[in-house]
Structure 1
Amino acid sequence: MHESSLGGTLRDYLSGEEIDETTFEEFRQLLARLLVEEKGYPKDRLKAKVPLKYCVEGEEFERIIDFVLYDGQGVPVFLVMFCAGDVSTFERETVCAARLIDGGPVPYALVTDTMDATLLDVRSGDEVARGMNAVPDFDRLEKMVAAAEVKPLTAEQREKQTRVFHTYCGFVCGDHCECTLPPMPTFPLKK
Structure 2
Amino acid sequence: MHEVSLGQTIRDYLTGTDIENTTYEDLRQALAQLMVEELGYPAALLEPRISVRFPVDGKQYCRTVDLAVQDGDGRPFLYILFVPGQVNTFTRESLAAARLGKHGPVPLVAVTDTRDALLLETAGGTTLRDGMRALPPRSRALELARQHPAAPLTPERTLREQRILYTYSEFMKTCCDESVCML
User: Which range, TM-score by smaller chain?
Assistant: over 0.9
Letter in 2 for 1:156: E
Deviations 1:121-157 (A, max 9, x none): 1111111111101111011001111222321111111
Q: TM-score, normalised by structure 2?
A: 0.93
Partner of 2:181: 178
Partner of 2:87: 87
Q: Aligned ranges for residues 34-183 of structure 1 at < 5 Å?
A: 34-173=34-173, 174=176, 177-178=180-181
Deviations 1:30-55 (A, max 9, x none): 00001111001121010000111111
Q: Give the distance between the partners of 1:62 and 1:149, measured in 2 at CA.
A: 24
Q: Give the distance between the partners of 1:115 and 1:67, measured in 2 at CA.
A: 17
Letter in 1 for 2:107: P
Q: Give the distance between the partners of 2:138 and 2:79, measured in 1 at CA.
A: 13
RMSD: 1.5
Offset at 1:171?
2.8
Answer whether contact 1:118 1:127 (CA < 8 A) is retained.
yes
Q: TM-score, normalised by structure 1?
A: 0.89
Partner of 1:15: 15
Letter in 2 for 1:113: D
Offset at 1:176?
7.2
Answer whether contact 2:100 2:158 (CA < 8 A) is retained.
yes
Answer whether contact 1:14 1:48 (CA < 8 A) is retained.
yes
SS of equivalent to 2:65: strand
Q: Give the distance between the partners of 1:134 and 1:145, measured in 2 at CA.
A: 14
Offset at 1:168?
1.9
Corresponding pairs, count: 179
Unaligned runs of 5+ in 2: none
Letter in 2 for 1:177: V
Deviations 1:36-92 (A, max 9, x none): 110011210100001111110001111111011111111110000000011111011
Q: Give the distance between the partners of 2:149 and 2:116, measured in 1 at CA.
A: 27
Q: Give the distance between the partners of 1:62 and 1:121, measured in 2 at CA.
A: 22
